Homo-oligomer: A and B are copies of this chain.
Amino acid sequence: MADAAPRGFAPVEYQARLRRAQILMAQQDLAGMLLMTEAEVRYFTGFHTLFWQSPTRPWFLFVPANGKPIAVIPEIGAALMRQTWIDDIRCWSSPSPEDDGISLLQELLAPLAQQGGRLGLPMGHETSLRMPLGDYERLITSLPGLWITDATPIIRAMRMVKSEAEIGKLAHICGIGSHGFARLPELAQAGQPLSETFREFRRELLAQGADDVPYLVGGADQGGYHDVISPPSARPLQAGDILMLDTGATYDGYFCDFDRNFAITRADDLSRRAYDTLWRATEAGIEAARPGATCRDLFTAMQTVIAEMDSAGGDVGRLGHGLGMQLTEWPSHAAFDTTVLAENMVLTLEPSLGYGDGRMMVHEENIVIQNGAPRVLTTRAAPELPVI
């Protein structure tokens, strides 16, 4: 097992995040932000639990223009929240369908509403509302003075750029994933049902030190796979299959997200060519990933190589994305995204193409933007399609 990166963050990390948020909030004249998803609550508090798997209870964090965040949470989370740096923790006995935190929020937000304050709420791209829509509408209607503003640009700007401590966790889990893929030739062989390959790979990632493997998808078929988001079938691996596994394993709440391709027993020429094209597209992406370039530049650099074999591009919609507390985060390497790359952004490079008779291939690496060439967190894929 790899040496572990330290767990948690020093209080100074949360203080810095709060300070940065309050600077950005001041620029938008926000009186506060109301957050409610796992990643956002954890980002500002350190509150870390798998209990979010239960959809039953809403959780709220209010980040004020001045002062520390205020947690408005179900009583079941109080003990864990008291272990974080948060002081003001307001609880109710949840579930309580008639009033699941709403009156506590009304009390908290009433002074803002009376002043006609602006409340930031993430409501833009890649966000969702993790509370009942009916409760949200009831809450907002009861606070007519409040102005709701989209806080997505603030959250996005903050979370896109990682701290050194965050990069340490991401590097650690990318290392675990790389060690796991290095062992795949020992775990997978012709005749093994793909579902068993997945099971063995999950167990290996845990043995290597991953806390969890929330994401594992892939495919295998003769001369190439057809789909990149499916659960595994029980079809046995066969000579001539191209096998791909794509994993999002976690360490201390941070994800890796990358894949590897393998040929079983033998590799066909077209798959070899697809592999070579995507390997070079990734190289082009790495080369282009410099501070000051845009996500669109990254997209163009990779797409130019991909076009040697597939001018249409795949149906994946982009060629990589941000990475951190979630499997995918802003930004997107796509023509629409003009985000300027900055030091300490952690990104995936994920070129893909369609080939042959409805086959597709994807490659993926995880990098950190830094001065000069990026740091590649994953052990770079072999330049030629490995044969198992």
List chain A positions with a Cβ less than 8 A from chain B.
Answer: 7, 48-51, 53-57, 74-80, 91, 93-98, 100, 121, 123-134, 136-137, 150, 152, 199, 202-203, 206-207, 211-217, 226-231, 234, 248, 315-318, 321, 326-328, 332, 334, 336
In whole angstroms, how far apart are the Cα atoms of A98 and B335 in the complex? 12
Given A55-B127, A95-B318, A212-B214, 17 more pairs with CB closer than 8 A: A50-B216, A53-B326, A53-B328, A55-B326, A55-B328, A56-B328, A75-B315, A98-B336, A123-B134, A123-B137, A124-B132, A125-B132, A128-B131, A128-B133, A129-B136, A199-B207, A202-B206
Q: What is the interface of chain A mostly: helix, strand, loop, or mixed?
A: loop
* Cβ contact within 8 Å between A327 and B227: no
* Cβ contact within 8 Å between A95 and B332: yes
* Cβ contact within 8 Å between A315 and B49: no
Contact status of A128 and B125, CB under 8 A, knowing A150-B134, A248-B53: no
* Cβ contact within 8 Å between B126 and A128: no
Q: Report how many copies the assembly holds.
A: 2
What residue of chain B has the Cβ atom nearest to residue A213's Cβ? Answer: B212
* Cβ contact within 8 Å between A231 and B56: no
In whole angstroms, how far apart are the Cα atoms of A95 and B318 in the complex? 7
Chain B residues, Cβ within 8 Å of A56: 125-126, 321, 328, 332
* Cβ contact within 8 Å between A129 and B129: yes
In whole angstroms, how far apart are the Cα atoms of A207 and B196 in the complex? 10
| Distance of A81 from chain B, by nearest CB (Å) | 10
Contact status of A133 and B127, CB under 8 A, knowing A50-B217, A229-B76: yes
Query: Mind listing 17 A-B residue pairs with CB under 8 Å?
Result: A49-B231, A50-B231, A54-B328, A55-B126, A57-B317, A75-B315, A77-B229, A96-B317, A98-B336, A100-B125, A121-B133, A123-B134, A125-B132, A128-B129, A128-B131, A133-B136, A199-B207
* Nearest 4 CB-CB pairings of A with B: A123-B133, A129-B129, A75-B315, A51-B229
